[in-house]
Amino acid sequence: MSGQKFLSDTPYDVKSLCQVKYTYEGDALEDEKKFLEALKKSRYIPKKHFSGHTECFLADGERVRKIIELMKRQRNFERHPF
């Protein structure tokens, strides 16, 4: 990809559960579209504005498990230890 590292500007405490690394930017954009479409019914707009505010979702434990299962099917999946 472009070599740029994402720096979060979120005003919330967040915990990364897993991540997918990409070699090609186009692959990342394609998968991002799939995730956003799959999660659109759970979309949530937080009260505090930050650069990723349009990509937030409400999720309980079961939905988080489903999201992680979806991510596992993607390229270069990495699960973070808890």
Q: Name the residue ranges covered by the structural domains of the chain.
A: 18-79
SS3 34: helix
What is the pLDDT confidence band of residue 75, given thresholds at 50, 70 and 90? low
Decide if 71 contacts 17 (C-beta within 8 A).
Answer: no
Q: What is the pLDDT of residue 39?
A: 81
Taking every pair of Cα atoms in the chain, the longest distance, rounded to a whole number of angstroms, is: 34
**H-only helix segments in 1-82:** 25-38, 61-72
Decide if 22 contacts 75 (C-beta within 8 A).
Answer: yes
Of residues 82 and 81, the one with the higher pLDDT is 81
pLDDT digits 0-9 by tens, 33-59: 888 887 888 888 899 988 888 888 887
Burial class (CB in 10 A: 0-12, 13-18, 19+), 79: exposed
